Amino acid sequence: MLPDSLIAPLQQHLQRVQRLHDEDLAKDLGAVYLPNALDRKYPNASREWIWQYVFPSDRLSVDPRSDAVRRHHLDESSVQRAVHAAAKAVGIPKPVSPHTFRHSFATHLLENHYDIRTVQELLGHKDVKTTMIYTCILSVVEGHVLQRGGLAVRSPLD
């Protein structure tokens, strides 16, 4: 699920990433690490655009597995720091992390009457019980009470 408002910015981002990849190829770089012997099965695949990271690092580094110079994916700590900084900049007094978006996503789906099986699939949970526990916990932790037909849905223990 991708909002229409993000399609053009994502396409622009991918064009910039492809230009960066083309520049790396021109310098005889541009190969990514491929898992599970894919590099032996498809020797040129690591340099093909389709295998490149959507969010690559802004710098090259030495791959410790092969000593090859590569552009790896953006480090997750960079995203975490950016989310923390953005939350602080707008005055959110609670801890915020990229995982917070996952909670918000699930909450919004449920508030918009998506069924639990759809939420399960979109979150990538194998078992619907995980989704049920997850959504119950996030409702309690985040203080959300889902509205269904004008009535608050609450636990019988409330």
7-59 pLDDT, tens digit per residue, is 999 999 999 999 999 999 999 999 999 988 898 999 999 999 999 999 999 99
How deeply is 21 buried, as exposed, middle or buried, from its count of CB atoms within 10 A (0-12, 13-18, 19+)?
buried
Q: Give the integer Cα–Cα distance in Å for 83 and 98.
A: 7
| Residue 156 in domain | no
pLDDT for 145 equals 52
Q: What is the pTM of this model?
A: 0.71
Q: Which of 74, 90, 112 marks a domain boundary?
A: 74
Q: Give the integer Cα–Cα distance in Å for 39 and 18.
A: 21
pLDDT for 92 equals 93
| Residue 153 in domain | no
Kindly give the pairing relationship between strand 147-148 and strand 151-152. antiparallel
**Tokens 């791959």 correspond to what residue?**
63
Sequence-distant (≥ 6) Cβ neighbours of residue 62 within 8 angstroms: 68, 69, 70
Q: Which of 51, 74, 97 marks a domain boundary?
A: 74
Q: Could you give the percent of the chain with pLDDT greater than 90?
A: 55
- Counted domains in the chain: 2
The pLDDT confidence band at residue 139, using thresholds 50, 70 and 90, is: low
Tell me the per-residue pLDDT of 90-134, one tens digit each, with 9 for 90 and over.
Answer: 999 999 999 888 888 888 888 788 888 898 999 898 988 888 876
pLDDT for 20 equals 97
Q: Which of 74, 108, 133 marks a domain boundary?
A: 74
E strand spans, the chain? 61-62, 69-70, 147-148, 151-152
| Residue 61 in domain | yes
**Residue range(s) defining the domain that contains residue 8:** 4-74
- Identify whether residues 134 and 83 lie together within a single domain: yes
- Identify whether residues 69 and 82 lie together within a single domain: no
